[in-house]
Amino acid sequence: MFDPESIKGDFPILDRKVNGRPLVYLDNAATTQKPRAVMDASRYYYEVLNSNIHRGTHSLARAATETFERARHTVATHLNAAADEEIIFTSGTTDAINLVANSLASSATLGPADEILISTLEHHSNIVPWQMLCQRCGATLKIIPCHDDGTLDQAAFTALLSERTKVLALTWISNAFGTLNPVAAMTAAAKQAGSLVLIDAAQAAPHLPIDVQALGADFLVFSGHKVYAPTGIGVLWGRAAILNALPPWRGGGEMIKEVTFSHTTYNELPYKFEAGTPNIEGVIALAAAIDYINAIGLAAIHSLELHLTRAAAHALADIPGIHFFGPPERSGILSFGIEGLHHYDLGTLLDKMGVAVRTGHHCCQPLMARFAITGTTRASFALYNSEADVRAFAEATYKVVAMLR
């Protein structure tokens, strides 16, 4: 396990104080802080390369294009994609899921006899696009229930799978509870039933190595800002054969080969799905973020985060009335409630002590309804968090509980 204190200096924002106290940032499931290497990559683009890509013949345009496409290769290698063209750049996980859902709707491959399967653990971004698709094509949305420990009911999942299942859309790690789903096994079962599979890896990408070929899914999506890159950039990986068969969702520049007033010929992958000027700086910075985490090693990062999550649960365990949500082994997230205290009050007072956590429903209102709660307090860990952060978080929580009772 590497020492996170050795790399804290790479993150300038961690030097700041909040309400006169050193910042303890534990809201990483919402967004991560950015290392200097990522900010330097953004600055390099604007100071040295700034130009539009793919169409220009001048030196800046060629250099920007080469750097952009090298970044695509970095992402493809990181995910073990079969080819660079399987990487589609989007504005984030939400945009990527909407791209798949809308392209499936336009392809007319789903109808009233079909079913789409999601789980109780899903973020709204992996619920609402499928509801909208069902409204358009008449398909039925089915939900995999979860047990009281926040794990998915695998027997129910098996029972729900049928020849009518056309899409399984599943989160890898729950952003609310930290539940690590058995996505490889569930993907294999869904593929055997003849379903397409989309994996929401927004929370997995910062913590776990990802091999899309070994995983066996058809689509995988994640957001850059969860993995130490800027906001506004995301990735859709898809199997080339499936992406080639789907129609584009957005029209405009870049996604075309030839346009007349009577007919348009679409571009090849990946450009068919990248209409308009992309977030060039974001793509280049995303590649820098991936290089940064790979230099440390995702196995080491995951080991640290598991250790910190266990340590935080142990440190808070003696608070009267505390209830932890999710299974005992959580991936980088500790979500809890304290009897008699509102999560918003707890989070507000923790902020006064310099500790940043997330409170509320975490864009998982159906999951909160399943547990008959309005929300939780969520601490989420990243590669720059340390045991000292856990101690500060625990000490502040005990003080806040004493103040509110």
Residues 89 and 163 in one domain: yes
163 and 264 in a single domain? The answer is: yes
Same domain, 131 and 247: yes
Q: CA 15 to CA 8: how far, in whole Å? A: 9
Let me know whether 304 and 263 are in one domain. Answer: no
Q: Do 95 and 144 share a structural domain?
A: yes
Catalytic residue among 134, 137, 146, 363: 363
**21 beta partners:** 18
* Predicted pLDDT of residue 1: 67
Task: Identify whether residues 255 and 365 lie together within a single domain.
Answer: no
* pLDDT tens, residue order, the chain (405 aa): 678 999 999 999 999 999 999 999 999 999 999 999 999 999 999 999 999 999 888 999 999 999 999 999 999 999 999 999 999 999 999 999 999 999 999 888 899 999 999 999 999 999 999 999 999 999 999 999 999 999 999 999 999 999 999 999 999 999 999 999 999 999 999 999 999 999 999 999 999 999 999 999 999 999 999 999 999 999 999 999 999 999 999 888 888 888 889 998 888 999 999 999 999 999 999 999 999 999 999 999 999 999 999 999 999 999 999 999 999 999 999 999 999 999 999 999 999 999 999 999 999 999 999 999 999 999 999 999 999 999 999 999 999 999 998
3-state SS string for the chain: CCCHHHCHHHCHHHHCEECCEECEECECCCCCCCCHHHHHHHHHHHHHHCCCCCCCCCHHHHHHHHHHHHHHHHHHHHHCCCCHHHEEEECCHHHHHHHHHHHHHHHCCCCCCCEEEEECCCCHHHCHHHHHHHHHHCCEEEEECECCCCCECHHHHHHHCCCCEEEEEEECECCCCCCECCHHHHHHHHHHCCCEEEEECCCCCCCCCCCHHHHCCCEEEEEHHHHCCCCCCEEEEECHHHHHHCCCCCCCCCCEEEECCCCEEECCCCHHHCCCCCCHHHHHHHHHHHHHHHHHCHHHHHHHHHHHHHHHHHHHCCCCCEEEECCCCCCCEEEEEECCCCHHHHHHHHHHCCEECEEECCCCHHHHHHCCCCCEEEEECCCCCCHHHHHHHHHHHHHHHHHHC
267, 294, 321 — which closes off a domain? 294
- The residues, ordered by sequence, that sit 6+ positions from 205 with a Cβ below 8 Å of its Cβ are 222, 223, 226, 227
Q: Are residues 149 and 246 in the same domain?
A: yes
pTM of the entire predicted model: 0.96
Using CA atoms, how far apart are residues 334 and 324, in angstroms rounded to an integer? 7
Q: Which is it for the CA torsion 27, 28, 31, 37, positive or negative?
A: positive
Last residue of a domain, one of 277, 294, 311: 294
Say how far apart CA 173 and CA 199 lie, in whole Å. 10
Domain limit, last residue, from 294, 312, 344: 294
Q: Are residues 252 and 116 in the same domain?
A: yes
Distance CA(228)–CA(347), nearest Å, equals 23
Domain co-membership, 82 together with 143? yes
Write 29-32 long-range contacts (CB < 8 A, 24+).
29/175, 29/203, 29/226, 29/332, 29/333, 29/358, 29/362, 29/378, 29/380, 30/358, 30/380, 31/225, 31/226, 31/231, 32/206, 32/225, 32/226, 32/227, 32/228, 32/382
Nearest to 78 by CA among 330, 349, 240, 298: 298
Rounded CA Rg of the chain: 22
Q: Which residues on neighbouring strands pair with residue 143, listed in sequence order? A: 118
pLDDT of residue 307: 96
Residues spanned by the domain of 390:
4-30+297-404
Token pair listed for 114: 């079909």
Residues 233 and 278 in one domain: yes
Widest Cα–Cα separation across the chain: 71
Catalytic site includes residue 364: no
CATH of the domain at 51: 3.40.640.10
User: What is the per-residue pLDDT for 253?
Assistant: 84
CATH of the domain at 398: 3.90.1150.10
- Domain match, 126 and 243 both: yes
Q: Find how far residue 314's CA is from the centre of its chain.
A: 27
Task: Assess contact for 377 and 337: CB atoms under 8 A.
Answer: yes
| pLDDT score of 267 | 86
Looking at the structure of the chain, the number of domains it has is 2
| Residue 165 shares a structural domain with residue 307 | no
